[in-house]
Chain A
């Protein structure tokens, strides 16, 4: 069964460093997402991406964050200058939505645990 994959599974970085989290969405999906979950808290939406551009972003997704789909398979989240409060589990998701039509399930990857020290 197709699945979303994410690398690395765990990333430790120092405050102020840049990190890139990688995701390979399900191949025939059209929408891609990043969510995060701070330990013990609920999952929060960061950004959605469709047709090679950001379609929606939350207040969390400030100028320190960026996303990219550099090729036909990878979807990346970059944090330019990490802060302690960026420590969280970051989930990538993809879905097969067709714009303006009925919705589909979002399938999540296993997550990348980011620890900022």
Chain B
């Protein structure tokens, strides 16, 4: 698998439910970032978690990072129809410059 692989590929839930998306990566990282992309639109930065952090919250978002397992999860609580989008994790390597390597993303569909 490649750096920054999300699962599931697609997730369909009802409004009010929680959505959990996972990301795995291979190399050592400085940080891991989550982005949202509405269909055909730009990337919106959601949250950044550094390699020395284990958990971070921002509003209805909760991100965890387990560097020993090289994995991260994004939890969206009390989902809304407006959360419908693709969600990508992106890792910044710990060596070299701060380029991001993206995963293929999880398509989240939240039904009213």
Where the two chains meet, the residues of A that have a C-beta atom closer than 8 Å to any C-beta of B are: 31, 33, 35, 41-45, 48, 50, 55-56, 58, 89, 91, 93, 95, 97, 102-111, 113
What DSSP secondary structure best describes chain B's contact surface? strand
- Answer whether A106 and B45 are a contact pair too, CB < 8 Å, given A42-B88, A43-B88, A56-B96: yes
CA distance A104 to B47 in the complex (A): 11
User: Known contacts A42-B88, A43-B102: does B42 contact A50 (CB below 8 Å)?
Assistant: no
Which residues does B use to contact A, with CB under 8 Å? 30-31, 33, 35, 40-45, 48, 50, 88, 90, 92, 96-105
Nearest 5 CB-CB pairings of A with B: A110-B42, A108-B43, A43-B102, A56-B97, A42-B104
Consensus secondary structure, chain A interface? strand
Q: How long is the Cα–Cα vector from A56 to B101 in the complex, in angstroms?
A: 13
CA distance A35 to B20 in the complex (A): 26
**Do A91 and B43 touch across chains, with their CB atoms under 8 A apart?**
yes
**17 pairs across A/B with beta carbons < 8 Å?**
A31-B98, A43-B88, A45-B99, A45-B101, A48-B97, A48-B98, A58-B99, A91-B42, A97-B98, A102-B30, A102-B50, A103-B48, A105-B33, A106-B100, A109-B42, A110-B41, A111-B41
